[in-house]
């Protein structure tokens, strides 16, 4: 009681009491909770309290866990609970285990007056590794347990053995950490080339979780320079030389960011500009105001190059560029392709064969420049690619399937290189296929981790190195994210989708999904025994309290733009509904199905 009162008094003097979960000093089992920490106010600061004389082993463990939730940069107070030999060797940044409601503490049998072990247990929901990558935990891995050993040091209990890393509740994790998109260049080899045969400079978002109230800008730059997360690393590259560090960082009142590097930033201006553009996109989400310009300096402080926000836009990800006038598309009840422009509530037929009804459409994908579209027949047997102009010709199908209906071709999807992706769901020969420029001989894409699953639908990110797929295995359909590895040459490309991971392990049945940002998806699904919901989820599986979309159920398909200021589209029965960013669901005309944005 004396220790808890002391904490309250100390924290009360620190501007605002945010609350610290504390352990009783008696009883066999107690919980290290953190519900009182769930405060999103960025001005709240929580500080730990040093160990007091005569505290029990349970109090020491409780105080240590509390101190790890403080806003101290180096966990100095938490280290006060450690034995002398452990203070310098404990590595809190090695990993983070996130528990649904905090850890339950119990003292193991066999304790003595000078040695004891305290067990922690709980339900794990996610983990964050040493590169700050978040990973949702599968149902089979949710049980968490760990032991903390204590011994007497100068008559006081101290922790002399504890696993590296942190154990946090969801509430504390969301208070202390923020999702940040770190950008790297896509490594696409010769299998996809841009203008004049040169690979495009496409930036790929790599989401990480960083401490939000401890030098977030500095930590963001440090994360960028340390390189991509393990999952994304094989398909991206950094313009910064390996081993580069930020020796000095400053952001002035004009929002000019200066970074002095430990290594010379390239031998030519072009290379330096690529670094500056990569840095510019990365820091925009964490600076208090938009960064106007970036300057990179050599180790001696001499300027190497500078780049304005407008100049850096030349290196912007394809999924962000040229989306200001994106139209919304769907298929009306007579199987014609129609489009909505801007805030219009009545759609019009598009020019060309798909709008004229030369194909009874079942699904469609519009190329990102909105000059071509790919349509699958309503019976799933054939895929057509044609222009969206009045004089365009339909031509012959670019792909056929010997199966029909739900066993035929899936809805197609365009990446940012104008390559077209589609799944043939034929039970006799299920395949994932890619057509370069939406034409020519389809390339079969290997998916070695698919097992007995079947791809029902897919959406490829504009960066071309990530693909979201609905996979059915048994009676369950789940959302999986795959990494697209490209090899071979442009004439003979080789593609593999590998490292599949479940994005929504808590959803048993997923009906639809769409990209809704550079590192975010919108998903329609339901938990076991639950009701259907529409929810935004990070590509790493992370969610937050404000990610569920309210007010609509029975949705069969959903579409979102990778530019997040566009309305969400959904089909319900034979109707199309639109949800503006600041409004409610409203029906559009005519009735229809299969809404899509370009991509």
pLDDT, one tens digit per residue, over 120-164 is: 999 999 999 999 999 998 776 789 999 999 999 999 999 999 999
The yes-or-no verdict on residue 248 having pLDDT over 90 is yes
61 & 148 share domain: yes
Same domain assignment for residues 189 and 245: yes
Position 321 in a domain: no
User: Do 422 and 275 reside in the same domain of the chain?
Assistant: no
In a domain, 216, yes or no: yes
Cβ neighbours of 585 (radius 10 Å): 16
Residues 549-571 have a mean pLDDT of 89
- Average pLDDT for 556-565: 91
Max intra-chain CA distance, the chain:
89
- Name the pLDDT band for 43 (thresholds 50, 70, 90): low
- Is 470 among the domain residues? yes
Confidence band for 251, pLDDT divided at 50, 70 and 90: very high
Distance of CA 489 to the CA centre of its chain: 30
Q: 147 and 162 share a domain?
A: yes
Rounded distance between C-alpha atoms, residue 125 and residue 269, angstroms: 45
Place of tokens 């349970």: 58
Task: Give 582 or 392, the one with higher predicted confidence.
Answer: 392
Query: Does residue 485 share a domain with residue 356?
Result: yes
pLDDT of amino acid 545: 61
| Residues 61 and 35 both lie in one domain | yes
90/228 same-domain check: no
Which of 259, 292, 315 is at the close of a domain? 315
* CA dist list (Å): 28 to 24, 105, 161, 250: 10, 8, 21, 51
Residues 162 and 44 in one domain: yes
The total domain count for the chain is 3
Domain of 278, in residue numbers: 178-315
pLDDT at 265: 87
- Give the H/E segment covering residue 303: strand 303-308
User: Please, which pLDDT band fits residue 4 given cuts at 50, 70 and 90?
Assistant: very low
Closest CA to 328 of 520, 584, 552, 563: 563
Examine the pLDDT at 194 and tell me if it is beyond 90: no
Q: Are residues 166 and 189 in the same domain?
A: no
User: Does residue 475 surpass a pLDDT of 60?
Assistant: yes
Average pLDDT over residues 49-70: 96
Instruction: Report pLDDT digits (tens) over 88-124.
Output: 999 999 999 999 988 999 998 788 999 999 999 999 9
Whether residues 461 and 589 share a domain: the answer is: yes
- The structure tokens listed for 244 are 């580069």
Q: What is the mean pLDDT of residues 185-190?
A: 82
The larger pLDDT score, comparing residue 454 to residue 197, is at 454
Do 25 and 8 belong together in one domain?
Answer: yes
pLDDT at 527: 87
Residue 466 in contact with residue 205, Cβ under 8 Å? no
For residue 8, pLDDT over 70 is answered with no
């Amino acid at each position: 009681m004396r220790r808890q009162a002391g904490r309250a008094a100390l924290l009360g003097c620190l501007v605002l009491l945010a609350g610290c979960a504390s352990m009783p000093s008696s009883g066999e089992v107690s919980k290290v909770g953190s519900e009182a920490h769930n405060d999103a106010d960025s001005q709240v600061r929580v500080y730990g309290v040093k160990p007091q004389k005569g505290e029990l082993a349970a109090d020491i463990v409780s105080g240590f866990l509390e101190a790890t939730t403080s806003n101290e940069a180096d966990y100095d107070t938490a280290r006060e609970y450690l034995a002398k030999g452990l203070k310098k060797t404990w590595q809190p940044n090695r990993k983070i285990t996130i528990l649904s409601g905090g850890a339950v503490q119990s003292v193991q049998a066999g304790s003595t007056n000078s040695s004891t072990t305290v067990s922690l247990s709980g339900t794990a929901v996610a983990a964050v590794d040493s590169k700050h990558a978040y990973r949702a935990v599968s149902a089979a891995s949710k049980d968490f347990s760990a032991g903390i050993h204590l011994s007497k040091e100068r008559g006081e209990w101290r922790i002399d053995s504890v696993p590296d890393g942190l154990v946090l509740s969801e509430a504390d994790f969301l208070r202390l950490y923020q999702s940040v998109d770190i950008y790297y260049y896509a490594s696409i080899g010769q299998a996809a080339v841009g203008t004049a045969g040169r690979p495009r400079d496409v930036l790929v978002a790599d989401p990480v979780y960083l401490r939000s109230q401890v030098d977030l800008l500095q930590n963001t730059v440090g994360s960028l320079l340390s390189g991509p997360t393990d999952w994304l690393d094989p398909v991206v590259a950094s313009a910064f030389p390996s081993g580069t560090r930020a020796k000095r960082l400053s952001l002035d009142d004009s929002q000019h960011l200066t970074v002095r590097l430990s290594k010379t930033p390239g031998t030519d201006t072009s290379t330096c500009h690529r670094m500056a553009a990569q840095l510019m996109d990365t820091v925009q989400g964490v600076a208090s105001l938009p960064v106007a310009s970036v300057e990179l300096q050599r180790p001696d402080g001499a300027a190497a190059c500078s780049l304005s926000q407008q100049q850096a836009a030349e290196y912007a990800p394809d999924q962000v560029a040229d989306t200001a006038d994106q139209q919304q598309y769907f298929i009306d009840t007579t199987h014609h392709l129609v489009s909505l422009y801007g805030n219009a509530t009545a759609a019009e037929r598009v020019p060309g064969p798909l709008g004229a009804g030369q194909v009874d459409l079942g699904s469609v994908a519009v190329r990102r420049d909105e000059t071509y579209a790919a349509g699958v027949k309503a019976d799933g047997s054939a895929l057509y690619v044609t222009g969206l102009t009045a004089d365009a010709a339909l031509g012959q199908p670019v792909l056929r399937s010997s199966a029909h209906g739900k066993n035929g071709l899936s809805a197609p999807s365009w990446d940012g290189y104008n390559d077209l992706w589609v799944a043939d769901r034929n039970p006799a020969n299920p395949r994932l296929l890619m057509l370069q420029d939406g034409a020519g001989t389809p390339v079969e894409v290997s998916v070695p981790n698919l097992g007995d699953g079947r791809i029902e639908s897919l959406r490829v990110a504009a960066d071309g190195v990530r693909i979201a797929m609905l996979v059915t295995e048994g009676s369950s359909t789940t959302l999986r994210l795959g990494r697209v590895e490209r090899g071979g040459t442009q004439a003979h490309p080789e593609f593999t989708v590998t490292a599949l991971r479940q994005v929504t392990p808590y959803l048993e049945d997923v009906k639809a999904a769409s990209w809704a940002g550079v590192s975010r998806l919108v998903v329609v699904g339901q938990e076991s025994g639950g009701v259907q919901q529409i929810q935004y989820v990070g590509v790493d599986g992370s969610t937050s309290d404000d990610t569920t979309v309210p007010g609509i159920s029975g949705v069969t398909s959903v579409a979102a733009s990778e530019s997040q200021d566009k309305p969400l589209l959904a089909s319900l029965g034979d109707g199309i509904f639109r949800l503006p960013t600041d409004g409610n669901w409203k029906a559009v005309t005519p009735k229809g199905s299969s809404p899509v944005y370009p991509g």
